Structure 1
Amino acid sequence: MTDRGESIGDATNGGHSETVGAVVLAYHPEASLIDNILALAPQVSAVFVVNNSPDVESAVLDQARTIPGVEVIDQPGNVGVAAGFNSGMRRAFEAGHRYVIIFDQDSTAPDGLVDGLVNAYRAFGPGAGIVGPALRSGVTGHVFHRERGSGIEVRETLISSGALFAREVVERIGFHDESLFIDYVDHDISLRAGRRGLKNLKAFDVVLDHRFGGAVPRRIFGRDFFVADYTPMRQYYMSRNRVILIRRYGFGSWFWEDMSYFVKAWAKVLLFEEDRPRKIAAFFRGLRDGIRYRRSSVDRPAALTT
């Protein structure tokens, strides 16, 4: 969108405007968050920054509150990725936007990203689910191998950052599963959309600059590469939630793609990362708790009511 507040296409859809609201999840944000908001703001009608670290004074978030069109939503604490995104999405839909696009704080939206995703959703027509961009490393500037292509392709899963949700899609599939807290939240909602008969779309002609984990540099045999260096807590949730998703959705193509990532990631953990004993212990605790996990009816993803 070239002008904030200007509608895309028709003025209304079922009583809701055609505008896009953006949600940015913030947790102890660095100064780069402001640059990311400023890159995103001209492309949408409003930006909702969800503050998942309200107990910490933040000059960055204080500055964000002064940017026109930006609303900071303070959470009672670190409520997790799923609940944080849900809070911002609810606020955006309540404000009357038809589309909501969600971002991690370390993702940068190049010009044309939002329009490209909306156009991809419309071009596919009935049956379109979540729409996501191709991903480019925010560290190296290289487009990841699986993100190379052209046009639109159906994908079983998409990552959270840069994912576009139409209101009618969320009415059909519900919000993120808050019981997962963090990690595989995006896999779960993508797989749920597929189970509800929708097709998730990768729009290759739209690119998002994104950082995975800490992106800590390492060098071996004269070659530079990066490790995510996730904390033991993240290793716990990745392990636990991977098992939960296997129990929910089985061993589909998403699992084999994830296994490729898993093997490479853990090779880096074991060879190059610090704090390995705690990360390994967290992995096995997550495996145990994933097997034991039982979801009650109150933990099920909430629905978006019209």
Structure 2
Amino acid sequence: MIAKKIITQEMKLVDFPEEVDEQNGIKLYGEISWENQLAVLSHYLHNNSNSDDYDYKREVTSAIREFLERKKENKNEEITEEYVTKVAEDPIAYDLFADFFNVPFPNPKEPRFTFIDLFAGMGGFRLAMQAQGGKCVFSSEWNKYAQKTYLANFGEMPFGDITKDVTKSYIPKEFDVLCAGFPCQPFSIAGVSKKKSLGRETGFRDKTQGTLFFDVADIISRHRPKAFFLENVKNLMSHDKGNTFKVIKGTLEELRYSLHYLVMDGQTYVPQHRERIMIVGFNRDIFCNEKYLVA
């Protein structure tokens, strides 16, 4: 009854308040920006409705309060902390955010495993993993347009820059598989040629994207998933006379993961000649004597 009194219509994602500089008419993005609030809320709804994390629930409560304040029928009516807390505990029961779940590619109802989706793009990795029964419990993508497409596809706004500790802090402690198509420009033939022509460094010496692999390795080291699935360009293996891949391979093996890799051509599956290296690793502390054939 209270919900009907305060809210005039069902809340949708488009109603979520953006942080705007009204004087200059521009949107502001930062640690508490619209994208980050929406990422916190959408991940909470999909994965952590029973979470005991106080700070996480406090952020969710804050975001929901903003919704309620903007959508209430009587602008002078007070929305109590008790009401906001009840809504945060079970938003679906109050008919909120239904379109988070009315999406083309929802998580499987009975998942077989969990995974995280780093450098998620528009969700190619996620589609493949969901088709195998996987449930995504965390996603990250820095590009604003890719974020919005991902949101439309899966009802989940990816978190932003994965190099920041505040972003990494939202990764669940435990999950089964890490997926990452970490940026390939520093290793690709086109990227190397372009940067050499500009007199710039490439590979791990690239100070912007080349080092992002180490953020992936850092997350693997902290969370120790059962397995990881990485993707990059074919040139990764030959870059810098093979030294780049040697560092990647050595880093992952030092983390006690067995490594299996293969260059595959996408023309087998799509009408495009697109060669990529697929790197799969298994946690040796769990899979002690495994024998996997990549073919």
Does TM, scored on the shorter chain, surpass 0.5?
Answer: no
Task: State the TM-score bracket (shorter-chain normalisation).
Answer: 0.3 to 0.5
Taking structure 1 as the reference length, what is the TM-score of the superposition? 0.34
Give me the TM-score of the superposition, normalised by structure 2: 0.35
Higher strand residue share: 1
